[in-house]
Amino acid sequence: MNLNLFLFLLFGILAGISSLMVIISRNAVHSVLFLILVFCNTSALLLLLGSEFLSLMLIIVYVGAIAVLFLFVVMMLNVKINPLKINQYSITPIGSLIFFLFFSILSNSMRELDLINYQYSGVKFTSWVSEINFVNNIEIIGNVLYTNYCVLFLTCGIILLVAMIGVIVLTMHQRRDVKKQRIEIQLSRIPGNVVKFISLRS
């Protein structure tokens, strides 16, 4: 078996198992960790298919920001496990309905794309050794962003900067009745007047 095909099947199976564990896990922290594993496996699949920009964006945005934020929120909230056991037979009808709808949508998509009669001729993977001397899609997107859409890109950055400053200003509450710390007075104090010795009666 080809190494690229083996890695593709391996990451695909791991992504499916991890996504199943996200639903099955009763602990919320474990579910978020399995969700991060799903994102990592999906990023590896995109990398094998030659879409390295989407792969890196998936790692940076979802794993580096959203999933870590979910993990911090779940750990800070300290979600307790519900001791009440859910009857599995009560959720079987709705689970069967969702599975039937998903299977029907998938079969219709395969029928429209004519994937049932598709003759397998090998999956086209990217050979990274031969791609060293060529321009990849990250460089192409960078060239397009910083040449044709340079003004729009900088405008979006300025809008985000103004929004961030506005949020900081709105959340700052200036209260006059709050005692503030004055560093200059604390630094100019005399060490001899700080400690006071008191003689106690024995």
Mean pLDDT by 10-residue block, N- to C-terminus, for the chain (202 residues)? 79 88 83 89 87 83 82 73 63 81 78 56 59 69 83 90 85 69 76 73 66
Three-class HEC string of the chain: CCHHHHHHHHHHHHHHHHHHHHHHCCCHHHHHHHHHHHHHHHHHHHHHCCCHHHHHHHHHHHHHHHHHHHHHHHHHHCCCCCCCCCCHHHCHHHHHHHHHHHHHHHHHHHHHHCCCCCCCCCCCCCCCCCCCCCCCHHHHHHHHHHHCCHHHHHHHHHHHHHHHHHHHHHHCCCCCCCCCCCHHHHHCCCHHHCCCCCCCCC
User: Which pLDDT score is estimated for 158?
Assistant: 93
The verdict on pTM exceeding 0.75 is: no
Domain boundaries, the chain: 1-80+125-134, 139-174
User: Which pLDDT score is estimated for 134?
Assistant: 66
User: Which pLDDT score is estimated for 126?
Assistant: 60
User: Which pLDDT score is estimated for 173?
Assistant: 65
Class of 1-80+125-134 in CATH: mainly alpha
Please state at what angle helix 150-171 crosses helix 137-147, rounded to 10 degrees: 80
Would you say the C-alpha torsion 92, 93, 96, 98 has a positive or negative sign? negative
User: Which pLDDT score is estimated for 19?
Assistant: 87
